[in-house]
Structure 1
C-alpha cells in the first residue's frame, strides 16, 4: 500500500498509532483504503501566484553528470562519518518534457546499475533488460525522457545486495508544465542504515545480527524545515529505506495528499497527518501552515519497530506570507494516464511472490533470455494477480508503467496510480495497467527483511 489515512484511537501514543498504521498499511485490503467520498472531499480552487511559474510545453534538453563513488555520511553524533557509496552530482530537478542527457561514471570497484522508480516509457535506459551493468572505471551516456511530472527515485539497489557498503538514493523531481499553487517545494527522503558496533555500515542482503538501526532524512540525523504562517509547502515524502515499510507523521499538522508514486491522485486529507509508504514509495503532500510563529512540530517516522523523531517543522518569527490561509488546492495536472482500463479483454497472469524463488532470480544472475513473466501487445490492458506465499510481507515494484490497485471483484479500482505495493503473507492483490510502452521491463520483489534477497523477473510489451 502506498499511503494510509487512519486516526489512532484516543489514548494511543503517536508511536503506537504509527506502528498500527504500518501493520494495517501492509494489509492493502479495501477496508484499509479511503472511501471515494473521502478522497473527493474538499476539492477547490486556489488563488495564488505560485513560486513555480507556468512553463511552456516545448521540450527542453538538459545535462546531468552522475558519479557512482565512495562517500561518507554522519550516522553517529560526535563520531567519524560512516563510509558508504552514493550517486554524486548536481540537484536533480527538471521539468516535464525535458530530455536529460545523463553521463554516469562508475568510480566504484564493482559494476553498477541505475534503478529508476517512476520513470515510465524509457525502455532504452532500463537496466538489465536494455543496458548491461556498468563496469568499474567505465563511463556511459544515456538519454532520459521525462514524459511525466512527479517525484521519482534513482538508486543503486539492483546490484547492492551483499556488497562491501550500502548506498544512498537520489530524488529526481520533475516539475509540472502547468501552474502549481505552492510557495515552496521540499524533498523529504528517508533512508535506513544498519551499523555495526565499530560504526561500519552493512549492505542489504546480509544478516545484520545485532547492528543498530539508524534513520536519516536527506542524509541527516535530523532535518529542520523552517516555514512561515499561512505558507503552502509541497513536501515530497520518499521512502528510500532498503526493506522497511514506514509510517511518517507530522505532529498536529494536516497533510493533503496530492500525488502517490509520482502520479496525481484525487486530493484528500491524510488523517492525523500520517502516511504509510513501502520501500521506494513516494507521496506528495501539501501543507498549509496555520500555526503561529514559534510553533514546532516533530516529524516522526515508524519503521515497524519504533517511532523515531527525524525532523522538525519550525514556524519562524517572520511575518505571515499572506493574511489568511489559501483555499484547498485543486488536483495536480494529469500526466495523461488513461481514465479507464479495459479489464474484460485484458492479458492476465498470476505471479507468486515470496516462498520458493521459482523463476525469480537475483539481479546479478538476470538474463533476458529467460521466459518473460508476461508477454502482451502494446495497447492491451494487463491484469496481474500478486500472491504472497512467503512468511513475511513482500514489496512488489513494476518498472515502465504505473498500475491501478483493483477492487476484490475486479469491478473497479482505487482512484490513484502506483508503481510499488506491499503485500501481506497469504494475501493476493490484483493490479492492472495499460501496456502503453513497448520494450522489456523489470519486475522486482523483495521481502521486508534486511537480509532478504532482491529478486527480479521481466515482462515484454511488443
Structure 2
C-alpha cells in the first residue's frame, strides 16, 4: 500500500491533470483578490496587547462574501502566509476542483503563490469559507469568513446579523495564540478548546435592538472543537435552516440549540424583552448561562409581534431518493483517550496503540488512520448511499461531508433535515443517506480539527 503522503501527492497530481485550468474557463468578470496574511487585532480587552492573527485581507473574520443564489464567486486567492494554504468553501455544493482541499482536490498554494477559485453557488443559505491546509493551526489563527447566498425571496425581517462563534486559546499574560497546535492532549481528547470565547472576534458583542423587532440571526460555529449549546433570553423565535438548507417549516425554539464545529443555523427571532432591558443569545456551559451576544433594547419597533414566519424557499435537489435501493456503507470511528483501539493501520503498516501515540496519531476509521489509497466508497453518479456510522469512542465528533448534503435516517426510516455536518456523541450509531450527485473525490472528516489532523479523515469517490 502506498503511504498517505504518496497518495495525497498522486491524487492531487491526477486531479490537476484531469481538471480544466481555471485560466481556461469562461470568466464573467475580473477576479476579486482574497489575501491570507498575518495581522494583529485587539482581541483581548484593551489592557492587553493586540493578538497576532492570520486573516483573509488581514481581518478576522475575513470579508463577508454575499451573493445571490446562482451567482458566481470568483476570488483570486493570494497566499502571503509563511506556510502553504488553500480555501475550502464549506457547505457549498460546487465543482470538485474548487473545493479547496489541499492534497485531494488541489495542490496547496505555496507562500507567494495564487490560485483562482471560480464557481457558481447553487443553493441559498448560510455558509463559510476557511483554510484547508494545516487547518488545525490556520483556522485557529483566524482564517475564516462568512459566505452568504441570498434567497430569491428573502424572509420578512427588519434586519439580519451574521454571528460567527469561536474560541481562542490565548496566553493569559501576553494575549498571544498558544502555538502548540500538535498538543497530545488536544489530539487525543476533545480537541483544541479555547479559553477566550468571542463572536465576530469580540468577547462582548452588543447589538442594539427594539422591542418586537424581528431579526434573522445567521449562526456559524467556526471553533476548532467547541460545541456551542445556545438558548434565547428576551428573544423568541424559530429555526428556519440548518447548515444552509431550509427546513420544511419553521421550528419553534423551545429547547437548547446544539451547534457543533462547522455547523450553522438560521434563526428568526422577535425581541420580547422590554425597552431598557437586555436580551441575550445565551451560551450554556456546565448548566450555567453566559451571554454570547447581548441585545440592549433601546426602542419600540411595533406595538405587537408578528405571526409565525413562512418557510424559506427550497433549494434545488433537496430530496434524498432511492433509499430502498441504497448501497450500504459502514464507518466505525475508533480511538482517542479512554478508547478501545489497541492497534490500527498507519501509512500502510499495522501499529500498536503505543506506536500510534509515539506518532501523535490517535483516531481511526475502520481500523485505518488518515487518508487511504482506496476511498471509503466508490459510487456511481446518482447512486443513493446509506452510511451507518458508529462512534466507538468516548468523545463527540462533528462529521462533515464535502460536496454533498445528507439526511439523517431515523430508526423508523424517516429522513431528517438536510445537512452537511453531523454531530455525534460517544457510543452513538447514526445513519445518513445521500445521493452521490456531484462527481469527484470528496473528503469526509471530523470537524474537530485536531481529530482530523490525528487520523479522522477519509474520502468517497463519485465517478
Superposition pairs of residues 58-457 of structure 1, within 5 angstroms: 63-77=31-45, 78-88=47-57, 90-126=63-99, 127-128=101-102, 129-161=104-136, 166-197=141-172, 198-202=174-178, 204-206=181-183, 213-265=195-247, 266-271=249-254, 274-302=256-284, 307-317=289-299, 319-320=300-301, 322-355=302-335, 358=345, 370-409=373-412, 411-414=413-416, 416-445=417-446, 453=454, 455-457=456-458
* Most deviating of 110-119 and 301-310: 301-310
Which runs of at least 4 in structure 1 moved beyond 4 Å after TM superposition? 59-63, 162-165, 207-212, 303-307, 356-362, 366-369, 446-452
Specify the alignment match of 1:48 in structure 2.
none
> Are the structure 2 counterparts of residues 158 and 140 from structure 1 closer, same or farther at C-alpha, using a change threshold of 3 Å?
closer
Q: Deviations over 1:352-393 (max 9, x none)?
A: 22325657999xxx9988111111111111111111122211
- Provide the TM-score with structure 2 as the length reference: 0.78
Aligned residues: 396
Say if 1:188 and 1:238, in contact at 8 Å, map to a contact too: yes
Q: Distance in 2 between the 1:314 and 1:369 partners?
A: 52
Say if 2:127 and 2:146, in contact at 8 Å, map to a contact too: yes
Say if 1:185 and 1:235, in contact at 8 Å, map to a contact too: yes
- Provide the TM-score with structure 1 as the length reference: 0.78
Say if 2:377 and 2:459, in contact at 8 Å, map to a contact too: yes
- Pairwise CA distance, 1:307: 4.3
> Are the structure 2 counterparts of residues 214 and 343 from structure 1 closer, same or farther at C-alpha, using a change threshold of 3 Å?
same
Question: Matched residue of 2:438: which SS?
Answer: coil
Say if 1:161 and 1:206, in contact at 8 Å, map to a contact too: no
Say if 2:155 and 2:312, in contact at 8 Å, map to a contact too: yes
Specify the alignment match of 2:16 in structure 1.
none
Q: Distance in 1 between the 2:414 and 2:90 partners?
A: 25
Say if 2:234 and 2:278, in contact at 8 Å, map to a contact too: no
* Most deviating of 164-173 and 151-160: 164-173
Q: 1 or 2 for the larger relative contact order (CA 8 Å, sep ≥6)?
A: 1
Say if 1:188 and 1:235, in contact at 8 Å, map to a contact too: yes
- Provide the aligned C-alpha RMSD in A: 3.0
Name the one with the larger strand percent.
Answer: 2
- Pairwise CA distance, 1:136: 0.8
Question: Matched residue of 1:224: which SS?
Answer: coil
Question: Matched residue of 1:354: which SS?
Answer: strand
> Are the structure 2 counterparts of residues 213 and 451 from structure 1 closer, same or farther at C-alpha, using a change threshold of 3 Å?
farther
Q: Deviations over 1:127-146 (max 9, x none)?
A: 23221111111112120210
- Pairwise CA distance, 1:230: 2.6
Q: Deviations over 1:288-341 (max 9, x none)?
A: 224332221133223569643232012223x42x44322211110000234352
Q: Distance in 1 between the 2:437 and 2:319 partners?
A: 13
Structure 2, unaligned stretches of length 5 or more?
1-26, 187-191, 336-340, 348-360, 363-368
Say if 1:447 and 1:453, in contact at 8 Å, map to a contact too: no
- Pairwise CA distance, 1:270: 1.1
